[in-house]
Amino acid sequence: MDIRTLTIAKEIASAAALEAGRLARSRFDTLNHYEEKDASGDMVTEVDHLAEATILKKIQSVFPEHRIRSEEIGDNHADSKWMWMVDPLDGTNNFAVGLPLFSVSITLLYEQKPVMAVIYEPITDRLYVSCRNEGACCNTEPLSMNNAKDFKRATVGWIQGHKVQNEERAVKLRHYIDVNTKRMMRLWAPTLQWNMLARGDMHGIIVYNSEGDDLYSGLLMVQEAGGTVVDFSGRPFQERMAEPYLIACAPKHVDYFLKLVQEGLR
């Protein structure tokens, strides 16, 4: 893996996320039209398209040979070991109804493994950046989960794929977590939850079959902040998955969350 490519990619992604995020912030709470993309109720707005165009233009101007998979345009299927995953407006449903919970998410993968990620939260003006083996930061301040505090009842983020809907197994696990923790959060903007976990404002995240363009930025952010990501059997996350069922938390809390999930699925 070329370190110089990674360094330049981080600069480009940060600039692109800031520009796209500021555009979204300038249009926030002014929408009078949005569309549903499919039967799951997922939405798209003109801001999604404008922010996406801004990001893709910056990436392609420097890395025209890279593969890109973006939320609205899709996959260019370029033959490259480098792959960008772009969600120009994570939390579109929130944005469309005037709820200020949304972000811009950009991830770079190398041979299917996330190696660089940028998440920008326009409302709070927080820019999160992480690189494999280099740590994670928020507005240049390092993030660390290494001193995570113990808890009696956990605050947990729940993230599920759009097509999961009310699948019986998912509903069962969701209900079990809801009644056996202090609070289960569903923000409909997954990257915000990953950022909360990386900051230490949440104890864990449960991912139920949610592979998408917003997943790997937050996952890398948590890993580089010192967090652990495992599947429902306790196996460490290695690379991009077709159907992710994952647990993310501080290393010392892995057994707690594995037990919680496995009991909830019985």
Residue 175 has which token pair? 């209900």
Block residue for tokens 């057994």: 255
What single-letter amino acid sits at 57?
Answer: K
Q: Which CA distances in Å does 167 have to 116, 145, 172, 183?
A: 33, 33, 9, 21
pLDDT at 222: 98
Helix H or strand E encompassing 82: strand 82-90
The one-character DSSP state at 149 is P
Rounded Cα distance, 8 and 116, in Å: 11
Structural contact between residues 151 and 140, judged by C-beta atoms closer than 8 angstroms? no
The CA distance from 69 to 123, in Å, is: 25
pLDDT in tens, the chain (266 residues): 788 899 999 999 999 999 999 999 999 988 766 666 655 556 778 999 999 999 999 999 999 999 999 988 899 999 999 999 999 999 999 999 999 999 999 999 999 999 999 999 999 999 999 999 999 999 999 999 998 889 999 999 999 998 898 999 999 999 999 999 999 999 999 999 999 999 999 999 999 999 888 999 999 999 999 999 999 999 999 889 999 999 999 999 999 999 999 999 99
Whats the size of the chain, residue-wise?
Answer: 266
Do 180 and 206 meet the contact criterion of CB atoms below 8 Å apart?
Answer: no
Chain position carrying tokens 């977590």: 177
pLDDT for 149: 87
* pLDDT score for 37: 61
Domains of the chain: 3-142 (3.30.540.10), 155-264 (3.40.190.80)
- Phi first, then psi, for residue 136 (nearest 5°) are -135, 150
**Residue 37 exposed, middle or buried by CB count within 10 Å (0-12, 13-18, 19+):** middle
> What is the pLDDT, as a whole number, of residue 221?
98
CB 205 within 8 A of CB 231: no
Of 220, 204, 39, 230, the C-alpha closest to 129 is 220
